[in-house]
Structure 1
Amino acid sequence: MGAGRIPRRYGLLRWLIFVAVYFLLATISLETRDPWSLSSTIWLPAGLLLGVLCTRSPAQWPVWAISAGVLHFSVSLLHDRPWDIALAFALLDLAIICPLALIWNGLHRYSNGLSHPGETLLLLAGVYLASAVGGLFSDLILKALGYPTRVSHFISWGISNATGCLAIAPLFIIHRLNHGQWQWPTRQQAVIAAWVFPLAIAVFFLPSSLLSNDLLNNALLYSVLALSLLLSALLPLLPLALYFILLTLLVSLATLYGYGPFRPALAGMQAVEASQLYLLMTISLGLLVATREQRHRSQRQLMQQQQLLLNALLQTRHPAFFRLSAEAEQLDWQPHEAVFGMPPRQLANLTLLLAHVHPDDREVLKTLLRTVRESRNTPQYCSLRLLLPDAHYHHVECRLLHHPQQGVVGVLALAKADSLY
């Protein structure tokens, strides 16, 4: 009984958190609404609902979707929306987001070979398409209800929904792709981000009265975009998603209350709409840059792990690297401490090395040294018997490669794993 109650309590706690966050985001979104407009300039709860649905099985969707619809309708009424508009927008929001989440879940489930960049492109394309369709339907619904509409309403609804989705949904989706594990930046990344982050957001704390020059405003906006892309290339995806959420809230509230570079350039709600379009572009480019860097970072980590595994495998065969001078006299060994248990000075030149090679194999090594100078790019191979400190001959593998400046470089390794000493 106790084991069954704990998951239920966690489920209830998650639902209560969802309700509280949805209500808060809906209130912020409707506070930025033009009192003479029927739609908000940004609808942040769309991203919350999309993210939750993309990380839950479709069997669990009804409780989340119904809760979101009821909250959407209720908060709209609290902010003086007509009941028919509140109901229409709540149902339209569900009609757009649920199919989008269903498509994304299906692609993620059945396309096992899909990479992070591929999933990001699908997310962006799906959000853009769904937002455009939603904007078209919102315009048709308003006309059917007898409300005056303009072409700009279709555009503003699409931007509002797309920005809201891309601001929050990636946090949930990326967390699921990482199998519930949080990826934190390294110390070096955190130090750089600590310098870049304040510079990226500082412009939105400046009063609009100080930003009356259009050239300065454009320069500041491009600087914020460049710094955001720098953070996108630097940070892991999860901290970056948190940055996008904070940036969206900051830009929206700053523009609404007369801070930042948008208010002096545009009048009224045009400034807020321009800020949402700017956010949409910044987040979209940032996600593309971040997923590209994430792929390169994963490939580098994979290569490093493969190198570690290869080194661990070779250590049991005691590899010894050497460089033979162009005059075929001196041998420089790596490591310098010991070569198969012998001090490197005992194998300091080719003559001493040949003295440790079995008499029947010495001519093989000499022939290989002559051959390697003719085939400059192809490693040459032979198998030798080498006299080691235990007074026995051991089979070793020798590979040589010609170096244009260093003469001949090569490696000796035991033919099989052996604990000699």
Structure 2
Amino acid sequence: MRSPSLPRLILFLLGYGLLAFAAIHIRDEVRLAALIWPAAGILLGTLMVAPYRNWPVWMLIAGTIHVVAGVVSGRTLGTAALFAVIDLAYVFGIARGWRWKCGARCDLTQPASLFWFLGTVIVGSLAGGAILILALRFNGEQLRYTDWTTWAMSDGVGCLLGAPLVIAWSNFRVQRSGGINGRQFALGLLWFAALLVSGVAVFNPGAAALLFGGVQYSLTYLPLFFVVLLALVWDQRGTTLGLIMLAALSSVHTVQGDGPFAFPGETLADSLTDLQAYLGAATVFGLVAVALNTSRQRALREAAAWRLRYEGALLASQQVAFEFDPATGRIAWGGPITEVLGVPPASIATVPDFVARVHEDDRAPLHAAFQKRRRGEVSDTGLRLRFRGDDGRERDLVETGAPIVDFDGEVYRIEGMLRRETPQVAVAREPA
């Protein structure tokens, strides 16, 4: 078993340790569970990107920190160890389920992978909460069976927030080229600032009183609008950073008794439970927006690559492609049209425009072939015709085409190719 690198160990110790010690003090004294537990997400994200051989190291470190934090906060050693073991088993199960389905390539920017991640977190949280309650009751703790929701909510939302953050930034490298451009960076910075400002306006009582005359519950979901806008520009890294900032901002104010979730007479446990449902919704919105936008960008890049190959093949072979739409009567052209035909595409955008430049003796065969394709039939051989360019010269062309028939039997498009017919040059052979 190889140990992780020292920088990664230090970063994990700081991240997991600070979050664990900070969150363990914010717990429901009756239900015993921490009301906020983002440390689970840090461990889950680490396991999702780490090799299997390093998993024991990460889990040993996390378990030790969890037990120590629990004992320091006032839990008995047995109760602290029980929480740590259940938490490790819960995170291990989710990470193992993820790797079983998606392999070592951790990518939450594909919708299928993201929905699998969300499903495993939800199922794992429900199962882990139920198992924890049974274990605590067996250990002598006086808990109701319905108290499992507190643990399930805190760990589930913690995984939704922390794991994507680790995954998004685990392979971060400074690039000299590629990535977002200056305009996208500036626009993302604007939405990031708007997210923070809207978060302060919603959760800070002073800012809310100044802007809205007091805390307005109806404006609670205003920051989610900027989460989605941020996801469309800064993708996964920027979105996870924005979500963490929103979570920190809203949690601090809610713990202090401020914000739209701190109702008079309501316990801190109820307020933080409402807040975590809010943060869970914000995280899902952001991650889904990132996945959909990334899939769209990936499709656009693939389409651009296919178009480049298509145009390159036509240019290299000195051929042009055409697509006739029977519904509109228009012809779309591709390839080096001006070089091959001697006219710009706009001059032959319809069938009459094209036929007008064809030699009179070749129009009848062309018309017959065209009508044959409109009936859904395919021409047997290439059609030879003479075509007049803007310079007045006639070019000898070979035309081939075929109809594309729709599911209802109607011709949807007629696709074809035109190439210059070059004279055959006889090559003299020396006698053997």
TM range (shorter): 0.7 to 0.9
Deviation at residue 24 of structure 1 after TM alignment? 1.2
Q: Distance in 1 between matches of 2:125 and 2:53?
A: 25
Find out whether 1:103 has 2:97 as its counterpart: yes
Sequence identity, in percent? Answer: 22
From 58, 81, 88, the counterpart of 2:82: 88
Does structure 1 conserve the Cα–Cα contact (< 8 Å) formed by 2:320 and 2:336? no
Structure 2 match to 1:368: 366
Does structure 1 conserve the Cα–Cα contact (< 8 Å) formed by 2:384 and 2:397? yes
For 2:103, what is the secondary structure of its paired residue? helix
Structure 2 counterparts to residues 93-172 of structure 1, below 5 A: 93-109=87-103, 116-151=110-145, 153-172=147-166
Superposition CA RMSD, Å: 4.5
For 1:262, what is the secondary structure of its paired residue? coil
Q: Distance in 2 between matches of 1:252 and 1:172?
A: 20
Unaligned runs of 5+ in 2: 325-330, 404-413, 424-432
Relative to structure 1, the CA distance from residue 311 to residue 101 in structure 2 (aligned partners, 3 Å threshold; closer, same or farther) is: same
Q: Distance in 1 between matches of 2:301 and 2:373?
A: 34
> Which stretch shows the higher mean deviation, 283-292 or 273-282?
283-292
Relative to structure 1, the CA distance from residue 110 to residue 163 in structure 2 (aligned partners, 3 Å threshold; closer, same or farther) is: closer
Q: Distance in 1 between matches of 2:122 and 2:320?
A: 58
Structure 1 match to 2:205: 208
Q: Distance in 1 between matches of 2:92 and 2:298?
A: 32
Deviation at residue 375 of structure 1 after TM alignment? 5.9
The size of the alignment, in residue pairs, is 388
Structure 2 counterparts to residues 58-69 of structure 1, below 5 A: 58-69=52-63
AA of the residue aligned to 1:272:
L
For 2:384, what is the secondary structure of its paired residue? strand
Does structure 1 conserve the Cα–Cα contact (< 8 Å) formed by 2:43 and 2:62? yes
For 2:220, what is the secondary structure of its paired residue? helix
Does structure 1 conserve the Cα–Cα contact (< 8 Å) formed by 2:109 and 2:236? no
Unaligned runs of 5+ in 1: 1-6, 325-330, 356-361, 402-408
Deviation at residue 143 of structure 1 after TM alignment? 1.9
AA of the residue aligned to 1:313:
A
Q: Distance in 2 between matches of 1:351 and 1:161?
A: 71
From 193, 199, 213, the counterpart of 1:198: 193
Q: Distance in 1 between matches of 2:147 and 2:114?
A: 27
Q: Distance in 1 between matches of 2:80 and 2:239?
A: 33
For 1:414, what is the secondary structure of its paired residue? strand
Structure 2 match to 1:267: 266
Does structure 2 conserve the Cα–Cα contact (< 8 Å) formed by 1:214 and 1:265? no
AA of the residue aligned to 1:293:
N
AA of the residue aligned to 1:243:
G
Relative to structure 1, the CA distance from residue 415 to residue 240 in structure 2 (aligned partners, 3 Å threshold; closer, same or farther) is: farther
Q: Distance in 1 between matches of 2:271 and 2:118?
A: 24
CA deviations on 1:231-256 (whole Å, 9 max, x unpaired) are: 33444223222222222222222322
Does structure 1 conserve the Cα–Cα contact (< 8 Å) formed by 2:41 and 2:159? yes
Does structure 1 conserve the Cα–Cα contact (< 8 Å) formed by 2:47 and 2:95? yes
Structure 2 match to 1:414: 419
Structure 2 match to 1:220: 219
Relative to structure 1, the CA distance from residue 351 to residue 312 in structure 2 (aligned partners, 3 Å threshold; closer, same or farther) is: closer
Deviation at residue 340 of structure 1 after TM alignment? 3.6
Does structure 2 conserve the Cα–Cα contact (< 8 Å) formed by 1:166 and 1:283? yes
AA of the residue aligned to 1:16:
I
Structure 1 match to 2:276: 276
Q: Distance in 1 between matches of 2:287 and 2:273?
A: 21
Tell me the TM-score normalised to structure 1 length.
Answer: 0.75
Q: Distance in 1 between matches of 2:368 and 2:139?
A: 91
Does structure 2 conserve the Cα–Cα contact (< 8 Å) formed by 1:33 and 1:41? yes
